[in-house]
Structure 1
Amino acid sequence: MIRLGVDVGGTFTDLILINEGTDQSWVHKVPSTPSDPSEAVIKGVTEICEMAKIQPSKIDQFFHGTTVATNIVLEHNGANVGMITTEGFRDILHIARHKRPYNFSLYQDLPWQKYPLVERRNRLVVPERVSAAGEVITSLDEEKTREQVRKLKDAKVDSIAVCFVFSFKNPSHESRVKEIIQEEFPEAYLSISNEILPQYREYERFSTVALNAFIGPKVSRYIKRLEEVLDEMEVSTSVHLMQSNGGIATSEVAAEKPINLLLSGPVAGLIGGIKAAKNAGFDNVITLDIGGTSADIGVAPNGEMRMRHLLDTRIGEYNAMVPMVDIDAIGAGGGSIAHVDEGGIFRVGPQSAGADPGPACYNRGGALPTSTDAQVILGRIHADSSLAGDMQVVAELSEKAFEEHIAQKLNMTSLEAAAGALKIMTHNMVNAIEMNSVRKGYDPRDFTLVAAGGAGPLFACDIAEELNIPNVVVPPYPGITAAMGLLASDIAYEKVHTLWGSLTHPDVPNISSVIDKLEKESYKALKEDGMRDDQTVLRRVVDCRYSGQGYELRVDAPEGEINDSWVTEVIQRFHQAHLREYASQFPDQEVIAINVRVIGIGLVKSEKEQLFVTEGQEMFSIDEYPQYPVYFWNSDQLEKVQTPFIIRNDIPIGTSLSGPAVIQQKDSTTILPPDCTASFDSYGNIVIDMRQKIEKKFQAYASISK
């Protein structure tokens, strides 16, 4: 079987192709094409197939992670959206939750009002009303509905969101409106709330459905264009896309519900990092995926992805109440621009030089100093290095950029400016990791840091030292870890129903009926994707809270018959989850089940290992490699150390190296500082032991305090 993973990032598009029949693998990177991401995808597919000497038609599985949906939201360039809603609820999207980004500022732009998903003139209402129990109070006015649909057609909207109050209890009115729209305005892209998010919480549901309509036309066109071009290349398999819940979906499902593609790439990076750490023998994982534009941080205790609370799932300032893996992103990447702000403060990011023109050292027109340029000045990326296979480094351009834009303004040398830029970036990433670990009850010292992305291995050891993390794992191809994660994923669809019923005094037949319905829907969706019964797994989840609480926790529910014992087990699991999350539990309190969910999983990932690594040189010797001066931090001082630059593919499995060393490969560069040791395991991972360096740091602190 030949499997291909393609991840589109802000700067590079990463590809990995594995031929399981011959135990061979190939990796490739091409610059992303933001104006049309499919161009980079097609270019990369063509080139990696040439490298593997196969025809694209031989590809059996095609997995894709994309930033298209996320970028549309962040850049505010989505569709012209119309909305039809219940009379009296026209301004739900404008009012939101009365939350203000700056509590004490009387003059501030609220992002959801400054950049509305649906302009007020396109938010139209119709007479209809359903009660909280699902009973029809006011019948749908169909003539008024047709009139409003025609108004939206005359306004030339691209898509229509339909959101009625309590439609998750009774979707009949929304379903009828959908039929009317298809009769009057069939070319409009449709986003119907009971199909996208049949859940309670009024504003979040409205926002999610509007967001789906906002990104839907562009995303569906992108998917369609990609499939058309792949058809021209005679790729027979369909495209599967990574979702924000950590599973993949067929292109048809992704085009219908593109809201589930948000955070597509970062989730794949976390999955790939978990896989690499597991291969290296580590369970507790912190992943640091640093690309050209951003750094994505994930924490996976026991190798399990954490899901965000549904009230915390947002993109930019828009609520997107869909299942999302708990990942945070900050503006810290290889292309992050160093600058002095108007107040004279030295900052790095979040602005990025991106793929075009890129860092100054790329010699593609970029003149501003970036993180990559700082690495060049400190000698960590050498002038003889090549980035992404064919871009040569021009060190003089990095020096010029830092001298003109930083050093002269702050009265320092370009070397000091570059070192300061890397210190600032390291500090920003350490803070972000602490926010995702320490502040959520996890001790980084109990975890292993997985360095992913093209720039992750450049920063990993410095960050691990700051956080006292004992081990760093660098995957075989860190720059394409997200693409690797795509191949380690299964199809996953999550069906949800708002129950809002007591578990302490349960209506067991109703609970059983709802879950049975969701399981049948999930099973049907997987069968439509061609999954066999032995590939199908159904998981149950219940969102629970104590009576009187405003927020709920996700609780994995047991399999088997739904009876009183099943309900009791769910309650016990909720108490345990509440204790773990909040360090308290209240066994005497009534427990409420807000939502029930069924996650349908289609097992498609291979049982084989993802990568088939090279054996390295038989007579490997570190003395055969050139040495160049590299600057490392020793306490608070920069020291210049002659450092060997080694080709990673030359290093045999089982080798141990002592720092300092710079380990180069096509997609990334790994920095091994002094007082650290690295071993190369049979899976191709570099496992770096940080304990000696951390101990030396504590000894230095102790001597200073004396």
Structure 2
Amino acid sequence: MIRVGVDVGGTFTDIVLERTQAAGEGDQQVVVTKVPSTPHDQSEGVTEGVLQVCKIAGVEPGDISVLFHGTTVATNMVIERNGAEVGMLTTKGFRDILHMARHKRPHNFSLQFDVPWQSKPLVKRRNRLPITERLMPPTGEIEVPMDEDEVYAAAELFKKRGLDAVIVGFLFSFLNDAHEKRAVEILREVMPDAYICASSEVVNVIREYERFSSTAMNAYIGPKTALYLNRLESRLRDNGISCPVRIMQSNGGISTVAQSATHPIGLLLSGPAGGVIGGKWTGEHCDTGNVITIDIGGTSADISVIQDGELRIKNPRDTEVAGLPVLAPMIDIDAIGAGGGSIAYIDEGGAFRVGPRSAGAVPGPACYGRGGTEPTVTDAQVALGRLDPERFLGGDLSIDKALAEKAIKENIADPLGMSVTEAALGILKIINNNMALAINANSVAKGIDPRSFSLMGFGGAGPLHAVALGEMIQAKAVISPLQPGITAAMGLLVTDLKYEYTRSVLQTLNDADDEALAKINAIADELVAEADAQLDSDGIHADARTYTKIMECRYLGQGFELRADMPLVPLTQANKSEVIDNFFNVHKETYGHAFRDQITEGVTLRVIASAQVDQLRLPSLEKGGRKDPKEALLYTKDTVFDDGQPTATPRYDREKLLAEDTISGPAIITQHNSTTIVPPKFTATVLGHGDIRIERA
């Protein structure tokens, strides 16, 4: 079997190929590579990278069994606001729900704050048309039948305006979706080429603003996401790659192209999610379940926490993208504009700043020689001698130290009256402090003590900053994965197929009688049936399927919910207390207290269906146990560390290191896709599968 993982970043596209034989028929082969990303059309870079890794591995593209893909297409569309022109049908009287939202100011004490759902709406007001219809809670009975003539008229108007997508969001449709379904039928009849979806199909849960916003987001990114996925499959086929394609989801699972095209909001954290999965997998190899991951690429740094070997999933109230709520399950990841391409500059007030603006893949850092003239974090690393021109990406990409120094001198050093070395160290100090603050916001601010966690830095720039960041947050140790620059792509090959289905229940659990529990069980059965239908279409055998049931609960009268595990068996009077106790425990962990004498209300039922796929396996390294092994030594070159003085620093070839080898700092460990820095007074130890742990000597 040949499996390929492809992760697209802002600057580079990372590819890993795994070839395995049947048991007893030979060794496993793992090949990795990187190619420049192609922002104008990511599918070009993906295809080029797949063909390149096949050539390196000596395999035919047509022999690939399955391709796994993490993409930023959906995320970039929202951030750049270049999605589809969307129309909306909604209940008469509720046309402005998307404008009013929750009447919350994004920044309470700012006079210049921006309200993204008003300044850059996903659906313009002129394209939000009211329809006569009304359902009534709590049963969803029809109070006012839907006026189909109004729906036909609205559809004709949308067609005349040339809209790409239309959503239907009616009040209380999570209780009865009959009106939404009929409106969708009419829209598809009149606008067969438009991207159409109903809120009950996308997020069938309570809260009209969040439901409408999530559905609008799905339609806003839907047409271009579907076009990209179809173009990708077509481009791959044209190059002889006809294998199934699986897409990374924000919840840490993978899905099919068809499912991703109809529910693209599940892709909004597709890129970063692969890195967290890869970090969890690497932590298992390093015998640690407590890991803080930071994925530093060319444009951004993505931060997450893995506690006791488990991923953290965001609470529904926190799942937003670009300031807009998205009711889709997401791994708890914080992203900031900090990466190798982050640009250093002096602002209008004379302050020295770095990021969030990035040089990206084009033109890239000044040292790339592609026309960039502004200094970046990568330029600072080059100027300090921490990245060598002859070893950068194994020599595949040429860099020019003189160009890096020139950019820093002209834009930072001369205006501030400092040397190039001082300016370069300043760039790194600023960017590291920005990232350390973000790490603390994702850990300390959420009750995590970094002193009992290892910091894992990956992405092309991760191991360059990891030790400095580990010192700032007082992490127990620092880990540089086996293939830092490809960790997110490798995470794609250790991810399970996963789908989530939700339905509102709105039932207090303490006094729930047998009839109420029977309704909850019936909803759970319906969600499992939906999951089974999807897994059937994926060809997953029934024995390979696993299910998890979650009840999103709150105290009666509370504003938002927390996820509490449910038993897999049907709820009964005897076991409903398990859900209540689980809610109390999660509330205690999240907020530091739990009121165990209060009434618990179940709001949303969630069924997670998954199926394991073949996992990427790494061979164990041969045992070395050497100290500063000469066999791996490449050469020695002056490098500047925090003291500002050039220091003779040996370079080691990571591919020649063996298990239990130790390297004393200062040292730089090079490989094709990344560079690991071991500063003075630190020691690096090679672990059993090739990962490196760095600790104070």
TM-score above 0.5, yes or no: yes
Gaps spanning 5+ residues in structure 2: where?
22-26
Q: 2:133 aligns with which of 118, 121, 128?
A: 128
Determine if the alignment matches structure 1 residue 571 to structure 2 residue 571: no
Q: Percent identity?
A: 47
Aligned residue in 2 for 1:282: 288
The alpha-carbon deviation at position 103 of structure 1 amounts to: 2.3
Deviation at 1:614, TM superposition (A): 8.4
Distance in 1 separating the partners of 2:633 and 2:532: 59
Match of 1:701 in 2: none
The reply on whether 1:609 has 2:617 as its aligned counterpart is yes
Contact 1:653 1:681 in 2 (8 A): yes
Q: Which residue of 1 aligns with 2:634?
A: 625
Give structure 1 stretches of 5+ with no counterpart: 693-706
Mapping of residues 320-339 of structure 1, within 5 Å:
320-339=326-345
Secondary structure at 2:251's aligned position in 1?
Answer: coil
Aligned-residue offset at 1:107: 5.0
Of 547, 550, 563, 2:559 maps to 550
Residue 622 of structure 1 and its aligned partner are, at CA, apart by 6.2
1-side partners of 2:95 and 2:260: how far apart?
28
Encode CA deviations 1:210-248: one digit per residue, 9 max, x unaligned.
011100000000000111122223323211000111100
State whether residues 620 and 688 of structure 2, in contact with CA within 8 Å, keep that contact through their aligned partners in structure 1. Answer: no
Measure how far apart 1:394 and its partner are: 0.6
Does the 8 Å contact 2:165/2:196 carry over to 1? yes
Alpha-carbon distance in structure 1 between the residues aligned to 2:660 and 2:687: 6
Match for 2:213: what amino acid? S
CA contact (8 A) 2:639 2:648 kept: yes
Q: 1:258 corresponds to which residue? A: 264
TM superposition shift of 1:682? 2.3
User: What are the superposed Cα offsets for residues 363-393 of structure 1, whole Å, 9 maximum, x if unpaired?
Assistant: 1111110000001111111232223751112
1:310 matched residue in structure 2: 316
Q: Quick check: 1:385–1:393 contact (8 Å CA) kept in 2?
A: no
The separation in 2 between residues aligned to 1:537 and 1:487, in whole angstroms, is 19
TM-superposed CA distance for 1:620, in Å, is: 4.6
Question: Displacement, 1:442?
Answer: 0.8
1:638 counterpart SS class: coil
The answer for the alignment partner of 1:508 in structure 2 is: 517
TM-score in terms of structure 2 length: 0.96
Map Cα deviations across residues 426-475 of structure 1 (whole Å, 9 max, x no partner): 10111011111111111000101111100000000011111111211111
User: Is 1:243–1:260's contact at 8 Å kept on the other side of the alignment?
Assistant: yes
**Matched residue type, 1:16:** V
Evaluate the alpha carbon distance shift between residue 622 and residue 629 of structure 1 in structure 2; reply closer, same or farther with a 3 A threshold: farther
For the structure 1 residues 364 and 264, does the alpha-carbon distance in structure 2 shift closer, same or farther, using more than 3 Å as the test? same
Distance 1:290 1:554, change over 3 A: same
Cα 1:613/1:24, change in 2 over 3 Å: farther
Q: Give the equivalent residue in structure 2 for 1:13.
A: 13
Partner-residue secondary structure (3-state), 1:625: strand
**Aligned 1:446-595 pairs, distance under 5 A:** 446-506=452-512, 507-595=516-604
What secondary structure does 1:428 align onto?
A: helix
State the match for 2:647 in structure 1: 641
State the shift of 1:577 in Å: 1.1
Letter of the aligned partner of 2:279 in structure 1?
G
Of 68, 93, 106, the residue aligned with 2:98 is 93
Q: Provide, for residues 484-533 of structure 1, a one-character-per-residue CA deviation record: whole Å limited to 9, x for no partner.
A: 11111011110001000010011211111111111111122111111111
Task: Indicate how the Cα distance of structure 1 residues 483 and 388 shifts in structure 2: closer, same or farther if over 3 A, else same.
Answer: farther
From 587, 596, 601, the equivalent of 2:605 is: 596
**Equivalences for residues 137-536 of structure 1 within 5 A:** 137-387=143-393, 389-506=395-512, 507-536=516-545
SS in 1 for 2:275: helix
* Conserved? CA contact 1:664–1:670, under 8 Å: yes
- Alpha-carbon contact 2:554-2:601 (below 8 Å) kept: yes
- CA shift for structure 1 position 109: 3.6
Count the aligned residue pairs. 687
Instruction: Name the CA distance, whole Å, in 1 between partners of 2:284 and 2:623.
Output: 21
Asked whether the 8 Å contact 1:286–1:449 carries over to 2, the reply is yes
Measure the CA separation in 2 of the matches of 1:470 and 1:200: 43
Counterparts in 2 of 1:7 and 1:517: CA distance versus 1, 3 Å: same
* Equivalent residues of 2:422, 2:644 under 8 A apart: no
Pair 1:45 & 2:54 matched: no
Question: What root-mean-square deviation, in Å, do the aligned CA atoms of Structure 1 and Structure 2 show?
Answer: 1.6
- Any conservation in 1 of the 2:365–2:378 contact (CA below 8 Å)? yes
Are 1:681 and 2:687 an aligned pair?
yes
How do 1:63-78 residues align onto structure 2 when only pairs under 5 Å count?
A: 63-78=68-83
**Distance in structure 2 (CA, Å) of the matches to 1:109 and 1:575:** 37
TM-score by length of 1: 0.95
Once the two structures are TM-superposed, the CA of residue 548 in structure 1 deviates from its matched residue by: 1.5
Q: What's the CA shift for 1:94?
A: 1.1
Q: Compare 365-374 and 608-617 and name the one that shifted more.
A: 608-617
Determine helix, strand or coil for the equivalent of 2:574.
helix
